[in-house]
Amino acid sequence: MSAQKNILLLGSGFVAEPCLEYLLRSGNNRVTVACRRAEKAQELTSTYPGSTAISLDVEDDAALEAAVAAHDLTISLIPYTQHARVIKAAIKAKKHVVTTSYISPAMEELDAAAKEAGIVCMNEIGLDPGIDHLYALKIINEVHAEGGKIKSFESFCGGLPAPEASNNPLGYKFSWSARGVLLALRNNARYWQDGKLVEIEGKDLMDSARPIFIYPAFALVGYGNRDSSHYRQRYNIPHAETCVRGTMRYQGFPEFAKTLVNMGFLDDTPRSELSAASAGDLPWNGVTQQLLGQASATPEDLLAAIEAKIDTQDPELRKRIIHGIKWLGITSPSVPAVKRGSYLDVLCARLEELMMYGEGERDMIILQHKFEVENKDGSHNTRTSVTLMYGEPDGFQAMAKTVGVPCGIATQLILDGKLTTTGVIAPMTPEIYQPIMDLLPSEGINAVEETV
């Protein structure tokens, strides 16, 4: 029996539990779950023997350094802006770190110091980023080994309700705060398309959505996810005339979301009248009247003003959007708005009231890589890799599992001495990604590959 290992898990959010469950299976690990408020950590540890809850403020450098030094490895599932602080503490203590986040410039700056300390700082090992890297690089390296070239690479990933749970006008549901999902609608996108660098401003992002065909059962659309232009270099596919990584949603989502953008609902400027401290109730029609600058607050007049903000000319989609606006209740005088300080946050509160997963409802993750390949003999074909996974009713959600379990697998491999590449790293080379990929199928996570 191998020696007991002590793991510090920072954060007790959505993805922490599948990671914790995986790490405690062997019986050789002890996990300390740390949150600013100990009771949050206790909610997670109460059902998992072998785990302990503590209170820890990661902005208290001395306390963080002491906690990191007392464990063999630290998993950081807190906001990415804190990861560099955690890595610095790990370098000082010469202890390993795992995160599921993209490597930020602040983290990358610590690479040399991490190498000098002899520690593994594994990052980007969730779903997106994470599983997407593993299955993309598997095919890319196979093509290169056979003397071929990747001429086009498209990768789209979606965390969605399962079809039977997509029963609202946006076809979307939340497992936690809606704020991050809405703020992502403001992101610019940058990618290569047919040899040209395409740059899309956040205000136009929803207009760029296009159908993504995976299985006939799914009506999916996709749009670019931030800057994927550098993946030609990162994935070593210099011949790819198209290189795009994007987000998937169900059909109809972009047009509805664009209407909310056009109305001004992504404005996160604090407003006194939307402050929780302001006196009196605020009906939703009053919020929408203020936002649109309308003289009238009647639902009929507000709906007419909103209809003018709908960009699509498709009559069926326009009807769906107006139906959705009514369903949201944001023109109603009888629906009270929750005052959270800004138009964005007031809308978030309403979406969270209506669009959280209900008891027994499943989520779904779907990830497709699509490669146009030029083979060594000059012939061409298309290769695809699809990962599709559903959540367990009243169990782990697919999104939580596909982020938390790869993180747990990477952690165990580091503790077992099977992943030894030091520095601030991501799973970009076979010696890193292959051992992780080998263990995913036993957790119900895999990819179906086809060549056409």
Catalytic residues: 128
φ/ψ of 400, rounded to 5, equals -60, -40
288 within 8 A of 331, measured Cβ to Cβ = yes
- Asked if the bond preceding 216 is cis, omega within 30° of 0, the reply is no
- Measured in whole angstroms, the distance separating CA 70 from the mean position of its chain's CA atoms is 30
Give the ranges where 25-124 is alpha helix by DSSP (H): 38-45, 61-69, 83-93, 105-108, 111-117
Say whether 47 sits in a helix, a strand or coil.
coil
* DSSP code, position 178: S
Amino acid making up residue 56: L
Q: Which long-range contacts (CB under 8 A, 24 or more apart) does 226-233 make?
A: 226/187, 226/188, 226/189, 226/190, 227/188, 227/189, 227/190, 227/191, 228/189, 228/190, 228/191, 229/190, 229/191, 229/192, 229/197, 231/153, 232/192
Angle value at C-alpha 399, between 123 and 49, nearest 5 degrees: 80
The structure tokens 């602040």 sit at: 106
Strands 423-425, 120-122: parallel, antiparallel or unpaired by DSSP? parallel
- The SS3 call for residue 441 is helix
Distance CA 312, CA 298 (A): 24
CB of 130 within 8 A of CB of 440? no
Cβ within 8 Å of residue 340, ≥6 positions away: 274, 276, 346, 348, 349
**Helices and strands (DSSP H and E) totals, the chain:** 16, 16
Strand order in the sheet with 120-122: 51-55, 29-35, 5-10, 73-76, 96-99, 120-122, 423-425
Of 383, 361, 384, which is closest to residue 374 (Cα–Cα)?
Answer: 383
d(CA 13, CA 5): 22
CB 364 within 8 A of CB 388: yes
